[in-house]
Every structure is written in C-alpha cells, then in structure tokens.
Structure 1
Amino acid sequence: MPADQGLRVLQVTGRSVGGAAEHVLLLTRLLAAQGVDVRVALFGEGPLDTALVATGRPVHQLLPGSGGGAAAAWTAGPVGLVAGFVRLVRLLRREPVDIVHTHTSVAGVVGRLAAVVARVPIRIHMVHSVPGAHPGPRWRRAAGRWVERLLAHLTTEYVAGSHAAAALLRDGLPRRAPQGTTIHYSFDPEALARGATAAAEWRAQWHPEGDEVVVGIVGRLEPQKGVLELLPALPPLLAANRQIRLVLVGDGSLRPAVERSLADLGIAYRVLLTGWVERGGAVMPALDVLALPSRWEPFGIVNLEAAAAGVPVVAFAVDGVPEVVADGETGVLVRPGDTAAFADALGLLCADPQRRAALGAAARRRVERQFLPAEMAQAHVRLYRRCRG
C-alpha cells in the first residue's frame, strides 16, 4: 500500500556516478513504489543518467553539457554553479515540492541554498562523506567544516548512512544543529539478479581457464579507495597463489597511475581492468572475494552488494565498514593501512573455499535481517513525515 501519495520530494545530487548516485537511483525507485512523488535534479552528467530516467520519474539536468567529468560540479566553475543554482531555484518555483533532499558536497550546498530562496519548507541533507573529516588539502577540509556549520542553520535534518558517519558529523556541527538520523544504505536486488544471470559470462571474460579464484576490487579509481597503496603488497600474494585472478571493476582519475604501477610491479598480466561498469553491484555474483582497501569509507555500499550475493569481504576496518562487515563472521577486517596483512588475509581466504562459503552465507543472512531495501525506503518516508509534522 502506498505510504504517502501527497508527499513531494526532490532529490538533488551531483554527477550520477559512485555509491551516492547508486543510492539516489535505488531510493528514487523505492520511494516511487511507496507512493511518494519523487523527482531528481543532477549537477553534472554521468553514467547512471539513463538508469535514473528509466525509473519513470522526472530527472532534471542542472549542468547540461558538463560532459560527465569526474567532478563536474567542482569543475563547472563559479559561472556554471551560479547557472545551476538559478536553474534549480526556477525549477522549485515552477514545480513546488515539500522537501528538498540533497546528497554530496557541492549539490548539498547549492541545493539547500536554492531551497531556502525558493521557500521550500523542509531541507534534508544526506551525508555521504563527512565534510572535513577525511584526508585532503587542509584548506579544503577547513572550508568543508566551516561551510557545513553555516548550512546547519538552514538544514531541517541530516541523514547519515552509518552510525560512524553520524558521529563524525555531530562532532563538527554547532550544538543547536540537527543531530542527524542514521538510515543505513541498502542494495539493489534487481542489479544482483541480473548479475547472477550473467555471472558465468563475466567469469568467462575474466579467466578463460575457469579455475581461478576471482578477487574483485569494485569502485572508482580515486585516492579514497586505496588501490594504489595496496598494489605493492600484491606481488608476493600472486606469486604464492597462482590460482588468484584480480579484477579491478571501475574507472577514475588514477587509472593511468594504476596501470603504470601494475607494469612496474610485474603483475599486469595477472590483473584485469574492466573500466566503468554501469551497475557495479551486478558483477558481485561473479566474484569469489571482494577486496575493499579504502582509506576511508563512511559505509561502502559494495559491502552490502557483495553480502547480498553471498560473497565474503576483506576490508580495512575504517569508519562505517564494521557496521556492514562482521569480522570473522561475514568477512575479514584488517587494521587500517596494513597492506601486508590485507594481502595475507586475501591469500588465506582464497585458499579456503569452505571458509569463503561459510562467510558468504552468513553475510547473506545478515543482509536479509538488517539491510533490506523496503525497510530503508520506509525509514525515509517516516523521516519525511516527521519533518513535515
């Protein structure tokens, strides 16, 4: 039964790439199924634009012709961002909504300011990465904290995808600011179903012999994801385990550096770079192990996608990852930054098919108990109703 047919929500986000965009796509589809009049506005073109349009909900491009660069909203420049702001204000006045729900950094700033100008009564911001809480240039971290403290006074409520992200957020906000609600991310069952059907085809592309253990790193090739730091620890692992096939699923600004590192380390022939895959979660059923070497990760949707596919995870125990991966129960957690221990954990898991199966089965059961898509959508509807009063 529809949850609330009278509720009008505009989700505002950046370019449609990465975990935040996957979340917006899933949430849009689920909210529509709940009877919510949900729309989407994008700051930049991206690879998931077509999938968003396919939901049947209105999708508005605020930076047309941005070319889908890796950080379209950042690189649009002041003129582009002002133009996007004006387009968003006009959109909100032309098609009024009850709630503007923003995602990502630039879209979160511009979206909330536009909502204030357009007199939208409820402004909710989802924190996918806590401003100023993670490595980066000192000036950008300070600016992020300062801007969010100012915007807190214009924000009705915050949403965090993990308890860890919520705690980091509260530490940086003024005392009287909204304290935030944790709504865990979920996974896309449709993408996983397609992936299960195509698993044999994926594996045939990756390793013609068919007897390797496939370890996947799924995500953007960007500094946050820690791939460059992990690569030097892999030659001993690959030399001692001839059955391992490493697949890097994704693309990004570090791809040339990753390719150079693989060549310098002499392991390029053991590693496949697939490039961008439209729905990264779809490859999970084709993997035997997911590796997540992220330096910071507020949650890591790929962890859920792997668990739902029955694939165990080896990850650094950073931020919200332990909320998804239970060490020794659904995967293996490693002390952050210890790449040698990370490689050792991969080796042990790849050599033990029974343990992989047990961890994967436990991961699937845990996801089915705690991270179901319908429950995530219902939690958002409850939040919207509470904010509306």
Structure 2
Amino acid sequence: MKILHVTQGYTPAIGGTELLIQRVSEELVRQFGDEVTVFTTNCFNGEGFFNPKLPRLQPGDEEINGVKVRRFPVNSRISQIFRFPQKVAYRLRLPFNQHLRTIAGGPIIPGLKKAIQEYSADIIAASSFPLLHMYAALNGARESGRPCVLHGGIHPQDDWAFQRSRIYSAIQQSTYYLSNTKYEADYVIQQGVSPERVAVVGVGVDPEPFAQISSTQAKNHFGFKEQPVVGFIGQFGGHKGVDTLLQAMTLVWKFFPDVQLLLAGARTMFAEKVENIIHQLPESYQKQVKLYYNFSNEEKPLLFYAVDVFAYPSGFESFGIAFLEAWAASKPVIGCRAGAIPWVIDEGIDGLLVDYKNQEMLAEAIIEFLKNSSWATTLGNAGRQKVLSRYTWSKVAQNFREVYVEAIRPDNTK
C-alpha cells in the first residue's frame, strides 16, 4: 500500500502527534512493507507556525528509517498578523472568528494542496486538528478521487481550538475518522459524524528502551541522590499544569522537605513563565527544582526512571503519551479528571485522578504515593502491564492499517 501522511511536524520536531505519526509510519514500513511518505512542515513545534523568528529545519526531501519525508516551508508571517484580530473576534464571538483562528494557528503552507493532489498514493491520512493542513489534505484527496482518513486528536475542553463547526464538517466529508480514545469517538459522533466512520486506534510507546534501566542509575545520571523525585516530563504549555504542580509542591515540601522536583521538556514560550514562578519560591524550595530542557529521545527512559511519582496535571489531552511512557518505566501516574484522561487512567489501579488546576488535590495525591511506596509500585507495575497488552506501537500501527485497508475499498472511496 502507498500511504501519504500529512502532519504538522516530524522528527526531530517534538510533540505527541509528531511522535505518533513517526512511529506508526515506521511500523507500517517495517511490519507490512508499505511505502510511506510524510508531508510535513519545517518547524520544530507549533509556535513556529506563527513566529517567524524561531529556528527552522531545512525544507526538502529526506528518508528517515525507511519513511520518505518532505518538509514544506511555512509562511508564519501571515499567521502572525492574524494573532491579534482573532483574539478580538473570538472574545466578541463574531461569526467569522473560527476562520480567523484557523489562519492564526496555521500552518500556512504554499503549494501543499497541489502537492497532495499530484502525489501518487493509495490513501491520504492527515493529523491533527485544529490545524490548517488538515483541510489541504481533505481537499487534495477529494479532488484527486482518493480516500482520506483524518486523525484529529480532539480534546473538547480546549474551546479556542476545537469549538469550530468547520472541523466537524471536514470530518463528515472524510472516509474515516481516527480517534485516540472512546471519549473522543463519542464526542465526534455527538457532533453528527456517522458512528460507522469512526474508529478508536489509541497511541503507543516502545517498551524496549525502558527494559534495562535501574532507578539508581537514572537518578545518578541527573545528579539526584536517593531522595524521592516527583517528575513532569512533556511539553511546557499553558494547559499542561506545570504551574499547578509547582504550587502543589510547596504543600508537599511541608511534609517531605527532601523531595526533588524534575521538570523536563522542550523549552517553549511558556517555559519563561515557569522559570518566573520558580524564582518567586523561597530559596530552599528553588534548590529542590531541576529544569531539564530539550532532552533527546535516548534520554527519555532515564528521565522516567529517575522519578518516583509522575505528575502530569494537564487539562487538555486527546490521550497523553507521557502516561504510557511513565507506565513503561513502571511508575505510578497522576492525571486530571478532564477530557480523555479518565479513559486512559484506571483510577486506583494504575494511577490517580485529580481536578484540573486544583493544587491541594494534586499535593494530596503526591503525598499519598510518597507515603505508600509499595502501593505506588503496585500501581506502576499495573500500568506497565496495560502498556504491554494494549499500547505498543506495533499494535497501534496495526489499528491504523486496518482502517486504511477498509478505506481503500472501492465502495468506501468518496
């Protein structure tokens, strides 16, 4: 099968969708011998879609682990111009505000639709909403008479991003829609999408790199001693709850003053706010916080093994690959009772749930794990078993391919 994936970023770009499409593409090549091409941008992350000052990758063609990759240059200046007008239109709920939001979010990629239309592939699949390239993929596929599968990554709590009727209109025009969880699938169906055109595929992790690392080895690598470590490992963004975690830790430190806090992720614009919060802490607390930016994929298993409790108090997740990565390292997790996360974490079995932006509840959950290390270990081990049985990239790629095979049947082509 010849497959064209269209997505906002591809390794070395960082993000959950970026990793998902990379690993699914590689598995389709490895397991099934499919010919997979990825059309993507030359940005390292979504901030590059509207910030022309950020560094870029080189546009052009390359091959990575058997996957053909074409990076298109993004015109971020147009999106930058629309950033302020869309805020005003959104605040006033003007009728055209969803279109301004789409332009402001980007990525604006000249020539993308034409390139999709002309590219020889059996199926075109695009990830993820609310970004502009999704419409180029849908229109390019339809105008060239080929099936289009959309993978949205929708988390409805993000009103700015996902309360847009044009998203659900596009999904209704696609051949199939792929959701990460049943929660997302049910939401899309509520928006009028036919249930028989919606499939749950999940996300995955590679458990092998996590198999032969000890916590002592990992802690030594990052300069920790044997004291407990609470960790956040993921993208630094306003909705990810890093600020709430810092506030919660001021309560935790009253009971466990020697606990270390590890904050690891790509350095984004929000990271400056995180640093300001840290600098406002008492000096004794500041010494307990370790910031670790822009780590490599090879370091990721070490980071997860270095922590004793993984706290990821995000409010907007279509799944949360970071939970799987923590479980792959047999770590107990704390997430928020928001969006798809309760469909990922089985509360009291492999993790705990707290209210979003509730620092007191988050602190209580962290303290419970620190007080009951054997219970925390039991939950972490249960999480690892769930990963091995349901959430490896090999299984997730099979889920994607089953939908692709169904989509290219002649009676499914629109």
**TM-score exceeds 0.5:** yes
Q: Which residue of 1 aligns with 2:149?
A: 124
Q: Which residue of 2 aligns with 1:12?
A: 6
Q: Which residue of 2 aligns with 1:244?
A: 259
Q: Within 5 A, what are the aligned runs for 1:229-240? A: 229-240=244-255
Q: Secondary structure at the match of 2:261?
A: strand
The amino acid of 1:364's aligned partner reads: R
Identity %: 21
Q: Which residue of 2 aligns with 1:346?
A: 366
Mark the CA change 1:212 to 1:381 in structure 2 (over 3 Å): closer, same or farther.
same
CA contact (8 A) 1:8 1:36 kept: yes
1:30-85 deviations in Å (ceiling 9; x for gaps): 111121111111123227989x9532311011126979x99xx999978x956x25
Counterpart check, 1:254 vs 2:270: yes
Q: Which residue of 1 aligns with 2:233?
A: 218
Q: Which residue of 1 aligns with 2:65?
A: 55
Mark the CA change 1:44 to 1:273 in structure 2 (over 3 Å): closer, same or farther.
same
Kindly state the Cα deviation for residue 378 of structure 1 after the two structures are TM-superposed: 1.2
Q: Which residue of 2 aligns with 1:108?
A: 134
CA contact (8 A) 1:217 1:248 kept: yes
Kindly state the Cα deviation for residue 217 of structure 1 after the two structures are TM-superposed: 0.5
Q: Which residue of 2 aligns with 1:373?
A: 393
Q: Which residue of 1 aligns with 2:25?
A: 28
- TM-score normalised by the chain length of structure 1: 0.84
Q: Which residue of 1 aligns with 2:340?
A: 320
Structure 1: which 5+ residue stretches go unaligned? 1-6
| 2:121 counterpart (97, 102, 114) | 97
Kindly state the Cα deviation for residue 176 of structure 1 after the two structures are TM-superposed: 5.1
| 1:302 counterpart (322, 327, 351) | 322
Kindly state the Cα deviation for residue 218 of structure 1 after the two structures are TM-superposed: 1.2
| Whole-Å separation in 2 of the counterparts to 1:31 and 1:113 | 24
Q: Which residue of 1 aligns with 2:44?
A: 46
Mark the CA change 1:356 to 1:35 in structure 2 (over 3 Å): closer, same or farther.
same
Deviates more, 1:105-114 or 1:307-316: 105-114
The amino acid of 2:277's aligned partner reads: S
Q: Within 5 A, what are the aligned runs for 1:152-171? A: 152-171=171-190
The amino acid of 1:241's aligned partner reads: F
The amino acid of 1:134's aligned partner reads: Q
CA contact (8 A) 2:168 2:188 kept: no
| 1:274 counterpart (272, 276, 292) | 292
Mark the CA change 1:243 to 1:382 in structure 2 (over 3 Å): closer, same or farther.
same
Larger helix fraction of residues: 1
Report how many residues are paired: 365
The amino acid of 2:296's aligned partner reads: E
| Whole-Å separation in 2 of the counterparts to 1:369 and 1:383 | 20
CA contact (8 A) 2:206 2:392 kept: no
CA contact (8 A) 1:66 1:76 kept: no
Q: Secondary structure at the match of 2:67?
A: coil
Counterpart check, 1:192 vs 2:190: no
- TM-score normalised by the chain length of structure 2: 0.79
| Whole-Å separation in 1 of the counterparts to 2:193 and 2:185 | 14
CA contact (8 A) 1:331 1:359 kept: yes
Q: Which residue of 1 aligns with 2:170?
A: 151
Mark the CA change 1:183 to 1:290 in structure 2 (over 3 Å): closer, same or farther.
same
| Whole-Å separation in 2 of the counterparts to 1:223 and 1:236 | 21
